[in-house]
Structure 1
Amino acid sequence: MPAETTTEKGANFFERLVQVEHGEWPRLGIAFFYFFFLLGGYFMLRPLRGAVAANNSEILHWLYTGTFIAMLAIVPVFGFLVSRFRRGQFIPAIYLFFISHLVLFALGFEGDATPMWMQRAFYIWLSVFNLFVVSVFWSFMADIFRPGQAQRLFGFIMAGGSIGAIIAPSITKGIVPGFGAAGVMFTASFLLMLATLLAIFLGRYSRKQSQNQPTEVIGGSVWEGAVQVFRSEYLLYACLLMLLHNLTSTFLFNGLAVLVSENIAGFEERTTFFSHVDQIVQVLAFSFQFFITSRLVRFLGMPRTLVMIPGLLAAGFVILGSSMGLVLFAAVQVAQRSLNYGVLGPTKEMLFTVVDRETKYKSKNFIDTAVYRGSDVTASWIFKGLTSAGISIAHIAWIYVPIMGVWGFGAWRLGRLYTQMRASLPSDETVAR
């Protein structure tokens, strides 16, 4: 299969930098700002979740369990919507559903005076929200961009989200002292509403590009997406990749929450700390997404690109096992999240451009939500069990090093399968819509 090439003749410097062709700008631009507002809204809220996690560091494993149960409840509802309604109907409905809940939380939040049950409910809600709406976004992108376009453009689209995520913590830091958590939530609701409007506009533009043919209702069983995961070697390796990544990221999140609770006091101070961490992560992630990731995949290929991440993180865990402290631990988490958002995120979304529409929406959503949070639950209970047994965070870091080896093997195999599936497509020029 011939590789898709960027039009060089007549392309300006920015087009060559982004690797975009002339006719792709409208769709790419809408997708860029759609993700900008979507992640901007979420990352305004994320420091609040970090502060809640620090306030509840002793029961994080139960909050993960509650999130997983909520995910299991919502997956069949999403499967029903996808099976019965067109893309232009169920995507805006999902966003409006979450926005209405956020407004209700804003009316009840009062910082440290917020009832503990509401803080915990918000933690679970936001943990469901961030996975669900981002998963829907990337299912949408995989539906309207071809595999070759995805390899060139998904990094740039993700960079739009990173810019929103870079700006958002500063907005949160500016709002919290004067207006508290409620002010942050109302502002985030406005950004999410803008993302919803752009989702509607992008759907209409894509339909217009397809001669105004309405997108087909995907149909099928409510549970078909979950069933298909266990029938497909490709999807099972995707699940393994997510499981092992989450074992790593959840350890880093929980460990940092424990260290913050021991070293930083006060809801606003902890929110500010997590805002700084988020901002550094997004600056680094943006650099990967905008300048490096698409070129990395082209130069190394998908298998080597996916293997690179556990290799680098293994070195970070060796350092943590040898030395421990809040700043060092935060630095390793920054590295992990930067690689996740900057490299693993775009490549993971590319993996779903070579499958059918039902898999893109149903199976992908099942993996991104139920499997993702299921691995979170597993990792959080492992962390709780190890710390309850008296094992230090530094010693736990050593335990995780072999996990990186298994992750590396699964990543290599998944990358090879992707390469084979892409080569078997009739043409990389087949238009998605």
Structure 2
Amino acid sequence: MQAAIQEPLFQRIFTLLTGARSGERAKSLFSFAALFFLLASYYLVKPLRSSQFLKEFDPNLMPVFFLLIALLSFGLTKAFNFFYDRINTYRLIGYTFALMMGLKICFLLSLPKGGKLASLLFYLWAAVYFLLCNAVLWGCINSLYHSESAERCFGFVSIGAAAGGIIGSMVSEWLASSSYTGYSLFISALLMGLSLLFMYRAINVSETASESKKEKKVPSKSPFWTDVLHLWQHRYIRAIATMVFALAVLNTVLEFQGLKLIDSQLSQQQYLVDFQELNQALNRVQKLPGQSLNPEGYQFIRELKHSSDSDKLKTVSAFLKQENVKLSAQKILSDQKNFQNNLESRTRELLSKIYKNQGFIGVFLLFVAARPLYKWIGLRWVMLLLPILFGTVCLAMFFPIELLTLEWMLTSTYALNYSLYRTSKELLYTQTDNEARFKLKPLIEGPIMRLGDVTASVLKLSLMGIMVLFLGQPEARMDQVYLLCALIILVYWLYEAWFVGGRYESLRKASEGPAAESQAETA
């Protein structure tokens, strides 16, 4: 007690704000910085990933590519696990980060000239690399803390992730409308290198990581599916995996529906700006109000991006002749190119704004709410907040939504997901061992999460095939059934969250019991 009183005022204030006590401050600061730079680097990639995809492809194709993403994620995780049994853990993480930084530079050079193929490869890679890097970085951080200290410090440490998302989104938003828009991946690679540097600093100052630094690996000769079987047999780990799967399903449903609405509303607004002359000419011919959006013209321009470059001029000329509109086909093609670029920039800018605001709200939740909530209501109840919010948003999507309303619905959901919920999920791993943190965790955060994406994708493709193509139902009706299926999965998510939260609290009390008794005997 006397030692605590003699601590400098700055250290006491730091403990009050962060929860980190003597011996925990340095590793908490370095962990904060590692997450900050990793998330900042990712949020330079994330808006670019979506905007590049929407620039070259129809948003309805996203479910098809999500099928590939799950397979790629599983392959990447199995490759990491193969080397995990042969290379020191912390050295392997360094190699992994270095590889991803190199690939960012490769895409920096190939995206401007690669067309659809480069955009597709970039979209697939950007959808899987961060899951592995984030999982192994959090695995390192989990190994540096016990449950009691994690509940005190993880709120502050997670603020690093939220703050990194804010800064990355702000830089991305600025780059999208500046002459330096092509430098996003280069800056992202540099920030990822800083994340790796601070991760190693956190490991070096932590006493709990000393055993892992000296570990000797014995190559495993177990069957290919051993990791999956181990995960399935462990009820506590399986519950975490089930929650991650359900979250991925709901998140993908929200992404599909949200991006579809964003693309629709932004493209209509941009069409009226870039094709004002064409729109007014079509309205005169069809005797429609001059300033209203012409549905035929808008639909034609939207579908024109699917035509090959060699056929576009002929297609535009035929359309103008059919509609009896006397405009230059060459000018329409020039306007269409500007339309695509402007729409990509506006989409990236809006997504960056959503991610930035999500970060601000996330920082507030972690700084103000995290420690009081864990202390007063417990982890079990905190785990229920996100599925309840997801359910509310899904119900709201049954009705027409304005772009601003949609923006804040997505912002609030993402904010809770990437702040309190993610921190709570990481706390669950403090009651596991290193094999769970470094082998099963990447499996959960990668392939199983992407399996949730695949489930949402297959569900949407199936509904589209049955309801729209076979039964002739409108897409709006299909979307409602899609949301209803998501709500059914959400009910099971609530059940698993309730179980795993209660199990964590039981394990935490059991692990603290012997320590408390030992302290009492010493006293």
Q: So what's the TM-score if we normalise by structure 2?
A: 0.75
Structure 1 stretch 310-319 or stretch 386-395: which is displaced more? 386-395
CA contact 2:88–2:213 (8 Å) conserved in 1:
no
Structure 1 stretch 162-171 or stretch 306-315: which is displaced more? 306-315
Residue identity in the other structure for 2:361: L
What CA distance in whole angstroms lies between the structure 1 residues aligned with 2:373 and 2:455?
A: 32
What CA distance in whole angstroms lies between the structure 2 residues aligned with 1:127 and 1:34?
A: 21
What CA distance in whole angstroms lies between the structure 2 residues aligned with 1:22 and 1:180?
A: 44
* 2:155 is the alignment partner of 1:155: yes
Q: 1:144 to 1:327 in 2, by over 3 A?
A: same
2:451 aligned to 374, 389, 393, which one? Answer: 374
What CA distance in whole angstroms lies between the structure 2 residues aligned with 1:132 and 1:379?
A: 21
Structure 1 stretch 113-122 or stretch 36-45: which is displaced more? 113-122
- Partner in structure 2 of residue 407 of structure 1: 493
What CA distance in whole angstroms lies between the structure 1 residues aligned with 2:486 and 2:396?
A: 12
User: In the TM superposition, what is the alpha-carbon distance from 1:160 to its structure 2 partner?
Assistant: 0.7
What CA distance in whole angstroms lies between the structure 2 residues aligned with 1:199 and 1:273?
A: 31
CA RMSD of aligned residues (A): 2.5
Q: Unmatched 5+ residue regions in structure 1? A: 1-6
CA contact 2:152–2:371 (8 Å) conserved in 1:
yes
User: In the TM superposition, what is the alpha-carbon distance from 1:413 to its structure 2 partner?
Assistant: 0.7
Structure 1 stretch 173-182 or stretch 215-224: which is displaced more? 215-224
Q: Secondary structure at the match of 1:200?
A: helix
What CA distance in whole angstroms lies between the structure 2 residues aligned with 1:243 and 1:211?
A: 32
Q: 1:227 to 1:334 in 2, by over 3 A?
A: same
- Partner in structure 1 of residue 237 of structure 2: 235
- Partner in structure 2 of residue 360 of structure 1: 437
Residue identity in the other structure for 2:44: M
Aligned residue pairs total: 422
What does 1:244-393 correspond to in 2, within 5 Å?
A: 244-265=246-267, 266-388=343-465, 389=467, 390-392=474-476, 393=479
Q: Secondary structure at the match of 2:383?
A: helix
Residue identity in the other structure for 1:410: E
Q: Secondary structure at the match of 1:425?
A: helix
Look at both structures and tell me which one has the larger radius of gyration over its CA atoms: 2
1:408-429, Cα deviation, whole Å (9 max, x unpaired): 1111011112122223336697
CA contact 2:241–2:448 (8 Å) conserved in 1:
yes
Structure 1 stretch 313-322 or stretch 117-126: which is displaced more? 313-322
User: In the TM superposition, what is the alpha-carbon distance from 1:219 to its structure 2 partner?
Assistant: 5.8
What CA distance in whole angstroms lies between the structure 2 residues aligned with 1:96 and 1:197?
A: 11
- Partner in structure 2 of residue 94 of structure 1: 96
Q: So what's the TM-score if we normalise by structure 1?
A: 0.90
Residue identity in the other structure for 2:156: F
Q: 1:295 to 1:223 in 2, by over 3 A?
A: farther
CA contact 1:207–1:213 (8 Å) conserved in 2:
no
What CA distance in whole angstroms lies between the structure 2 residues aligned with 1:424 and 1:324?
A: 48
What does 1:38-49 correspond to in 2, within 5 Å?
A: 38-49=38-49
What CA distance in whole angstroms lies between the structure 2 residues aligned with 1:109 and 1:292?
A: 42
State percent identity of aligned pairs: 19
- Partner in structure 2 of residue 128 of structure 1: 128
What CA distance in whole angstroms lies between the structure 2 residues aligned with 1:38 and 1:328?
A: 30
Q: Secondary structure at the match of 1:23?
A: coil
Q: 1:428 to 1:252 in 2, by over 3 A?
A: farther
What CA distance in whole angstroms lies between the structure 1 residues aligned with 2:19 and 2:506?
A: 24
What CA distance in whole angstroms lies between the structure 2 residues aligned with 1:71 and 1:255?
A: 23
What CA distance in whole angstroms lies between the structure 2 residues aligned with 1:427 and 1:136?
A: 30
1:225-260, Cα deviation, whole Å (9 max, x unpaired): 322111111111112111211111101111122122
- Partner in structure 2 of residue 16 of structure 1: 16
- Partner in structure 2 of residue 64 of structure 1: 66
Q: Secondary structure at the match of 2:398?
A: helix
CA contact 1:79–1:223 (8 Å) conserved in 2:
no
